[in-house]
Structures are given as structure tokens and as C-alpha cells.
Chain A
Amino acid sequence: MEEPCLIEKSELNRLIERLIREGFLVLGPRVEDSAILYCEIQSMRDLPRGYRDTQEPGKYRVAESNGENYFEFNLGPHSWKQFLFPPKQSVSSCKKTDNGWEFTTNVDSPPKFAFLGVRACELAAIEVQDRVFLEGPFVDPVYQARRESTFIIAVNCTVAASTCFCTSMGTGPKCKSAFDLALTELDDGFVVEVGTTRGRSMISDLNIRKIDREHASDSQLLQQRACDQITKRMDTSGIRNLLLENLDHPHWDDVAKRCLSCTNCTMVCPTCFCSSVTEVSNLSGDQIERERQWDSCFNVDFSYTASGTVRDDVRSRYRQWLTHKLASWHDQFDSSGCVGCGRCITWCPVGIDLTAEVAAIRNTPFSNRTLPVIQPVSKAACAFPKDFKP
């Protein structure tokens, strides 16, 4: 990667203008409905300049400060998932004609997205979803069309929320790859790192200065500040086996007493990818749409099969979510499903903190096993082999 450079703050406006001129829908942080959300951005005026957020389990607040920076806050309830993997999508339709049923695959023509303000944990989350939607034997055309054209401007965190734990998951706070451009906001400008040739050409007409030693050191200090502010930890050593060997730990009952099974954690999670597909017919039954919607393992009916509901209590649903996210995800996708963004902690209506639940199990491993120990299996045994052709 080439040397970082420096731009005046106002140059970001020119970058946004250029992206819009080149047909991108620029999405970035904006204060809406008492939160910082990802919405369409026309210029820097739309950004949450001077806004700060505070977060704790089950609580989120955003407020204006006397600061002047544009990116001195952390994650809100939205993730970029909503653009790449839409909450609701009509995937196909069929129509009754005189010659029988006519089937059509709906053509998705999404806009070209430019994401502004993607944090390191969110880059990691996009990479996790890439593995889910693009790198298996079945490529998801909806995700693919959106992902391929997306231009990513990452932002290095200079502050951290009390719910952040990216350092434990090895995903941040520094953006290392998977971006076109990455910004670090100083008081008097942005340090710009270029990640791709596309990123390089997008800043070609900006007024770029060479970065001096002082700016480089400021940038380092601010990134270190974010690191130092991260106090939440999750010990991930041997976490896969820890959880899978404790499937009958009494702590799952304790979580089940608190968990509402309301789906909020899975909805705000930037990697959760579950959906359900239903057919919706018109009144006369001759026109049918097949719709895909976000769904959740916390829904009773999500595990309904021909023989009944597989996970028929909150205990088994919470356990399914946590063990998939932190344990069996490794078997399925060669990585953790958690990037340490902390959204599930903040947006749980009763403040359940997965790092505390894991710690509780780690602190009192359960020895009276009644379930067989699940051994690590080869990827081919639990998923389709790489060369499988559907």
C-alpha cells in the first residue's frame, strides 16, 4: 500500500460530489430519530458533526457536543447489511396463463453504493458476509450485484464505546484492508489511505498534501486513544470447544430467564444472515410473489420443520445463536461470526451482554455432561465441498 496522504476537511465534500457525479448513491452517518443512522448523504453538512454517542447494555444516547469533528462517535443501530442484504426482497414471481404457470426471476437493479464511514469491525463484518453469500457454492445474486459495485470509504475510530470489543475479536479498531479509501480524522484534516486503484483514481482531483511527521503522529495517537478506550473483553481462546462442550451448562437457563427472544440482537448484528422465503398470492391466486425477508433463529417458527419446532424454548434459541456465532461458524466459514461491534449488547432491550455470558460459562465449566462432545469436523462434512456445482 502506498504512503498515506493528507487532505483538508472540506476536500471530503469534493469527494462526495465526485461520487455522486459518477452515479453513486452515497450513504453515510446522519442524525435521525435520536440515533446516528446510515442514510443518503449529499454533502458534509449531512454528517453528524460534533455529535457523540454513549452506549451501555440496553441503552443508547446521542447528543451534540462542542466538538467539531465529523466522525467522533461509534456505531448506531444500522449496519451496512441493510444495503447489501435488503430486509425484504421480492426474488421471483409466477403468473398463471392460458398455457400454464409462467415463472420469472426478478431482476434486481440496485444503485451503485458508496459507503462513507465504514469502521474496521464493519469491514470485517462485510468480509464475513462475503464468505456467506459469495464464497460458497451458492452465490447470492442480490448480495453480489450490490456488493460488487460498492465503493467503501472506511474511517478509523478515534473513540470507542463501552460496548466495543473489536480488539478481542482481532477486527479493529484500525482499518487494515477491504476498503477503497480509509480516513483518519485529525483536527485540521483527514489522513487518507488508499486501498485500491479505484480509490486512488477517485481522489485524483483532490488537493492532496504529503503527510508530515506531526500529522502522522497525531493520527497514531488518535487511533491509540480508541484502542485504549476499549475496556470490554472477550476471551476467545478455545471458545469453539468451550461452548460446544457446555451445551448443557446451567447458565443457559439463567440467560433464558432474561432473554426476550425478540430478535433484536440478530437484526442489528452485521453478520447475521438468516432469512425466510414465503410465497404471497393475490386474491384470485393467479399471481404469486416469492419474498425473502430477514428472519431470526430467535423466532419460534424459524426452526419449524415437518416434525415440529426444533428449538421450542428460549434456552435452546439463545444457545443456538451464541454457539453458531462463536463456535460452529468456525466450522462453517473458517472464522468467527462475531466482529466485536457490540451492537447486540447495546440494542438488547434488557441489556444482555454476550461477553458476560461467555465469561460466565468459562468461569464455571460444566462437567456433568449429558450430551456427547461435538468434535471438530472437516468443512466438507458440514457444508458443500468447494467444487460442488449446484
Chain B
Amino acid sequence: MGVFKFASCDGCQLQLLSCEDELLSIADAIDIVHFLEASSHVEPGPYDIALVEGSITTNVDRNRILEVRKHSKYLVTIGACATAGGIQALKNWGDRSDYLRAVYARPEYIETLSTSTAIADHVKVDFELRGCPINRLQLIDVILSLLADRAPRTPRHSVCLDCKRRGTVCIAVAQDAVCLGPITQAGCGAICPAYQRGCYGCFGPAAQPNCDSLADWYLAGRATPVELVPLLRNFNANAPAFRECGDRIDPFLDSGGTT
């Protein structure tokens, strides 16, 4: 197995390291030959499994992911960056040269694409594991499923189902919270609503999400577009369902500005 990093914060790779006890058992079953977050010792491919973290934001990375794909039997993307472009996909709504001038004293040294995109936009991906960060138990299950040649147990249902299973009172209904739970895929264990916070959508859109209906409900008195657009345009901003809904309700989009 090789673990590869593209544009990302390394948090998802850290989830693999956080497996601790299980990591030893995983290492018994799998040779981890490329994992720079854990060791500077690397061996060349090919790889049975490539875990890919991060999004594509440079030409160099665009070519590098082609190489990873070429040498990997299964390519699994991990985390919101790799599966949707990550928080850095906010650049997709802005002007690259404006950002470069604002951040860097010598912007001419910076080479970057005008977009941050998911790995699947560039190469064939065998499985996408969602989350910001990913859930380490789901990661272990994906690895186990590849070893056992079975489907992974990563449900596509909404966060709401997990709230109800754990007995959390719906804060959208009981407290008028603006919560993305009904349109967000489960996987986190429904943590935020259990602590009286609306869901931030870290695991991206659930299967067949009805984002427009939820957005219209919230916009009818509970939230303004200026509050709701940044919530949809978050870690999974460039996930198509969140992107399209955010763009539909974005009052600044026609004038070319950003929210």
C-alpha cells in the first residue's frame, strides 16, 4: 500500500496513524511501502492499494496523480479534498491572480491552477471515502473490505438517521438551528448535533440529496443567503450537489463577486 498526499492538510493521513493498535494489525496484513507522513523510507510501486489524500491544484500534481494511477491496482481517495476539492476549492469562485497578489510578495514564483478539483476529475477512482477528516473506523473497514474482497460498509444515508439512532433531539426542529444533516452523508457518528451544533456537511452530500428543498425552508425566515451559502460552500464546496445549490441561492454570483 502507498499513501499519497496532494493539496491537503494531512489530517486524513493522521487518521491512519491514529488507528494505533489497529495499525499494527494492518501492518501485519499489508506492507506500507510509501507513507511519507509516517516514514521517509519509501519503496517504489506498483501498489495494490493507493490511498490518495488531497486535491489537484497544480500542473505538477495533475501529472503526478496520473503516475500514481498507472502504478496502482486500487486507488482509494480519502477525505473531502480528494473527493470534492476540499476547502481550497473556494478558489474556484475567486480570481487566482487576485489571491496570488494578496498572499505572496512575489506571485510570479507561484504556479497554481485556477481550480481545486477532486482526484476523480482526473483519474479513475475505485472508491471514495468521504469526510473532513475521514472516520478512521471507516478507513479500516475499507482496507478490510479490499483484503476480504467485499463491499465496504460506508452508508450513503443522511446524518439524521444517525442522530435518531443515538437519540439526539433534532436541533433544526427543536431549536431552529441551520443544520445540513438532512442532506449530508453520515460517517461522523452525528457528532455536531449531539453537541447542539448544526451539521457542517463535512462528509459531503448524502445519496440523492434534496438541497434545494432544505435551503428554501431555511431561507424562509431562518437564515439569509449570506449565512447559508458559506455553509454549503465549506469543506465540500465543490461537491456538485452543494455547489449547485449554493450557486443557485448566491445573491452575489451574477455580479461576479464572492460571498
Contacts and interface: CB of A to CB of B under 8 A. Distances in A.
A347 B167 CA distance: 13
A42 interface: no
A253 to B, nearest CB: 13
Given A87-B164, A258-B213, A283 B26 contact: yes
B210 A87 contact: no
B144 A314 contact: no
Contact of A34 (B167, B174, B217): B174
A65 B132 CA distance: 43
Nearest to A313: B208
B25 A263 contact: no
Nearest to A33: B169
Interface stretch (B59-67, B153-161, B247-255): B153-161
A35 interface: yes
A285 B148 contact: yes
Contact of A301 (B156, B172, B174, B214): B156
Interface string A233-272: 0000000000000000000000001111111100110000
B217 A351 contact: yes
Contacts of A260: 158, 182-183, 209-210, 213-214
A263 B164 contact: yes
A280 interface: yes
B246 interface: no
A228 to B, nearest CB: 26
A281 B170 contact: no
A57 B164 CA distance: 18
Given A294-B165, A301-B207, A264 B170 contact: yes
Nearest to B19: A283
Contacts of A257: 210, 213
Query: Which of the listed residues B148, B164, B176, B214 has the most CB atoms from chain A within 10 Å of its own CB?
Result: B164
B167 A314 contact: no
A365 interface: no
Nearest to B209: A260
A77 B170 contact: yes
Interface residues of B, number: 41
Nearest to B166: A87
B181 interface: yes
**Interface SS, B side:** helix
A74 interface: no
A4 interface: no
B40 interface: no
A384 interface: no
Nearest to A263: B161
Contacts of A78: 167
A291 to B, nearest CB: 10
A37 B169 CA distance: 9
B22 interface: yes
Contacts of B196: 33
Nearest to A283: B25
A77 B174 CA distance: 9
Contact of B173 (A32, A258, A346): A346
Contact of B208 (A59, A293, A294, A314): A314
B160 to A, nearest CB: 4
A60 interface: yes
A30 to B, nearest CB: 12
Given A257-B213, A350-B217, A278 B157 contact: no
A106 interface: no
A88 interface: yes
Interface in A60-115: 60-62, 76-78, 82, 87-88
A50 interface: no
Given A87-B167, A347-B170, A262 B158 contact: yes
A300 interface: yes
Contacts of B87: none
Interface string A309-340: 00001100000000000000000000000000
B167 A82 contact: yes
Contact of A349 (B169, B182, B207): B182
Contacts of B223: none
A284 interface: yes
Nearest to B175: A34
B171 to A, nearest CB: 8
Interface string A340-384: 000000111111000000000000000000000000000000000
Interface string B168-190: 11111111100101110000000
A281 B153 CA distance: 11
B13 to A, nearest CB: 19
A88 B165 contact: yes
Given A294-B165, A300-B208, A280 B153 contact: yes
Contacts of A223: none
A88 to B, nearest CB: 6
Given A35-B169, A284-B25, 8 more contacts: A77-B174, A87-B166, A262-B158, A268-B164, A281-B144, A299-B155, A300-B156, A349-B217
A27 B243 CA distance: 45
B140 interface: yes
Contacts of B176: 59
A219 B170 CA distance: 34
Contacts of B173: 58-60, 77, 346-349
Contacts of A158: none
Contacts of A348: 173
B157 A301 contact: yes
Contacts of B155: 299, 301
Given A78-B167, A260-B158, A35 B140 contact: no
Contacts of A32: 169
A88 B190 CA distance: 15
A150 B241 CA distance: 46
A343 to B, nearest CB: 10
